[in-house]
A and B are shown apart, each in its own frame.
Chain A
Amino acid sequence: MAAALALGLVAAGCGGDDPVAGGAEDLPGPVPKGVTFAEPPASAVDAPDFAATLVDGTPVRASELWNDRPLVLVFTASWCETCADVHRTAARVVDEHEGVALLGVVPADDADAARDYADELDLGDPLAAADDEVWLDYAAREPPLVALVAPGGKILRGWPGGVEEAVLARELDALRG
């Protein structure tokens, strides 16, 4: 009887607290002690701050992520066949740079499908759905687009179509304190 009930609950998806890929569990922890970053050039412009919703429903604000660390934004979509590779490449470079964060951003109308996308990529980084206005603010007319924001919120670079691994690594190396 108990076994049947447990089986039923599992089948219904109940009772599980499994973290959702791309959800709150994938938000970065504090910047490790001893990791510091350089000041961005004075000429750099402010990155537009925005609110978005992670694939598990958690609200997130970009400025909270870039407050004390570089943030790599990957504008992507579940239906975009080339985006996954661009996203993976950016995530790999970010993984190699301690203290740097990555936030994937999908269109608001792609929020449901984005859960499967996050599941499939399983990058360990948060993935959020954001309104059209956010895409326009970053001149992300079409995914993929990668943008680099310096600690404190100065936008440094944007790469429509994606960025080569070595190029992003070089940019992040230059931000080391």
Chain B
Amino acid sequence: MNEEYLWNKTGNDPRIEGMENALKAFRYAPTAPPELPAKTFVLEQKPRRRFLSFGLAFASIAAVIAVGVWFLIPHKNAVISNDLVKTVGPQPTVGHQVDTPPAPKVELPIRESSPSPIKIRHLARPWAKSMNTLAFKPKDKDHPVTFTNEEKYAYGQLMLALSITESKLKIVRDTIAGNEEMKPLIEKQKNLYQK
């Protein structure tokens, strides 16, 4: 192989020339550039509104936080979740245009214990009436015993129940006192209990 012909095209080399002729069809020939498609779209570049995007994102986050904080803070007109105290505000009036001073809010205590532990309506007996005004009075002034409202309530209800129980049993006892036939039966039950 003639190196001079290969690199500098000087002299001749029939073997390389033969290969050149064989590949002649693929030789570079300058032609016109390819045409663009008939329709072209030119996109207008809009100025980016980055500040607006950031602003919207920030406002959304701030709104979410504000709503969360609103629900976390207890409000005057809301019902407290533990149902211990229910606050009732003034009711809105319809079609009443005169400005009136707002009505005072009333707090209604709701009992925490099991459903309807006691219902008393127009109690006839004096002892039952007195249950509404029960108050604890410590006997030992040097070591006064203090009670919570719940304790006072529970104690009052227990005493009321025991009083009624005892009074009803007293009816039976008084009747039995005048009836000799029933005494052995009662004694039998009493002995069974004492065992």
* A, B from the same assembly: no
